[in-house]
Structure 1
Amino acid sequence: MSGATDPSPAPVHESPSANDRFGHLIERRDGVDFPFYNGVPAALSVRQWVLVWASVAVGFAALILIPQPNNFVALIPRILFVAIPLGVLARVTREHWKALFRRVSGRDVLTMIGFALLNLAVSAGLALIVQSLFDVASNEAVDDAGKASALDTVAFYVGTGIQLVGEEVFTMIPFLAVMYFLFAKAKLSRKTAIVVAWLLSAVWFGAAHLQTYDWNFAQAFIVIGGARLVLTLAYIRTKNLWVSTGAHIINDWTLFTQAIVLNAALFAL
């Protein structure tokens, strides 16, 4: 069946030249490139890109609209948040959806840790700046971490781990879509497409957190958007969604664990 569910025949594209790649501090010298934006390993039409991006929004709607009375029930919308866009991407690109993910090496694990530490530092700095200038809202997920049963806390960690995979998919599919429109359609350079996609996907990610932070634009776009820029760099460097996901999980679980320990200490007083 042709149309929205069949990838277009992949055109032949040369690998980006050294001049169209960022230096070794940003992109590894391993010859690996981003998938899909240039027709490799599968070419998506404009209609298919719109469909895939729309599926990201549908997955997000499932996450925020399905009631979550506890962390066990919350597993359902969190799984849908991941499964809906990846399912649509798999339908459009067949087995090539796996190009988002690569095998994780020891070097990749170190990269996860490094970007997580960098992100914690950047987020803390941005949070201090925003707190000094604006009123801020708390994150209920962090505030309530560990306040229920031990099993609920385990479900919380499992569920947030799944959700953070979804947050990377939620960011990187639009990132690649913007790259496609700028590189393949607008005929901009690969470097320009990366920079614009990097910035716009951070705005997209920050906007998704507006409700979480009580529609506080400064928190959503400066703190969360700034943190997103760091995490996306992990993907830009490795072209591996597992690496940016790993950095994201280390970052968020560190914050959650701090909250759980603090809540437990306060309860013991």
Structure 2
Amino acid sequence: MTSSDRDLPFYNGKPVKIDGAGWLVLMASVALAFLALTLIPLRAFPYNLIPALLFVGIAILALHRVAGRHWKCLLRPVGFRSAALMVLFGAATLVGSMAMGWVLQQFFELHSNPVADEIAVMSASQVGATLLVTGIQLVGEELFGILPFLAVLWLCVQHLNLSRRLGILVALVISGLLFGAAHLPTYDWHWAQSLIGIGFARVILTLAYIVTRNLWVSAGAHIINDWTGFIFMFEFGHVPINAVE
């Protein structure tokens, strides 16, 4: 494994240089993908697969456009270590989000995730369909989280002359806030639950990517976190607050 393989991609010109215009294309694609997910009025299965697939596909096509064949470095093979870290970070996200939810509950009245509420009254087959769609969507959410993280890291290191370590810290905070802001409509514009609660969970998931350099790991951790909450809701009719994003 080369040193470039061990480092995060794209922010430092490796394995391929992405210039400012390229990063703008990527950020525009992330925004467009999010609009496709939220605004396309297809909510019943199997039609709701379309916005979920667009959420993933638009960002990947844009990354392929600016990075060529190197877009694949975002998605590395999954071995035993990667699978174990997937479970570990999934559990960390679940525990961390519930802990943050408990803290926020001491100061605010929090809202439940509407998808989790819907699952409580679904049949087993409907739950299975929902898990399939959300599984695809959560891969898109990882692209929505990781690409802005790398963009901010590039800006910090290449243009603001920050150290790599400080750039990662700034990128973690900003990408977490952006991810949380995207959840504001989900939680009835509750700023604390979205920006702090969801943003905190996003930081844990991004750390999974930083440790492994593998978006499959952060996506798997995200799926473990959310599906655990969904299944808990289906079985018991309630879910620990903030356990589902």
Within 5 A, what are the aligned runs for 1:70-149? Answer: 70-145=44-119, 147-149=121-123
Partner of 1:42: 16
Give the alignment's Cα RMSD to 1 decimal.
1.7
Partner of 1:230: 204
Q: Tell whether 2:134 aligns with 1:160.
A: yes
Q: Retained in 1: the 8 A contact 2:97–2:197?
A: yes
Aligned-partner Cα distance in 1 for 2:107–2:95: 19
Q: Tell whether 2:166 aligns with 1:205.
A: no
Q: Tell whether 2:212 aligns with 1:247.
A: no
* Length-normalised TM-score, structure 1: 0.84
Query: Which runs of 5 or more residues in structure 2 are unaligned?
Result: 239-245
Q: Retained in 1: the 8 A contact 2:122–2:234?
A: no
Aligned-partner Cα distance in 1 for 2:234–2:68: 41
Give the deviation of 1:152 after TM superposition: 2.7
Aligned-partner Cα distance in 1 for 2:205–2:19: 28
More helix by share: 2
Partner of 1:180: 154
Query: Which runs of 5 or more residues in structure 1 are unaligned?
Result: 1-13, 17-30, 265-269
Aligned-partner Cα distance in 2 for 1:103–1:183: 28
Name which one, 1 or 2, has greater alpha-carbon Rg.
1
Q: Retained in 1: the 8 A contact 2:10–2:154?
A: yes
* Length-normalised TM-score, structure 2: 0.92
Out of 189, 197, 219, the position equivalent to 1:215 is: 189
Greater shift in the superposed pair: 69-78 or 79-88: 69-78
Partner of 2:168: 194
Q: What is the number of equivalent residue pairs in this alignment?
A: 237
Query: What amino acid sits opposite 2:213 in the alignment?
Result: K
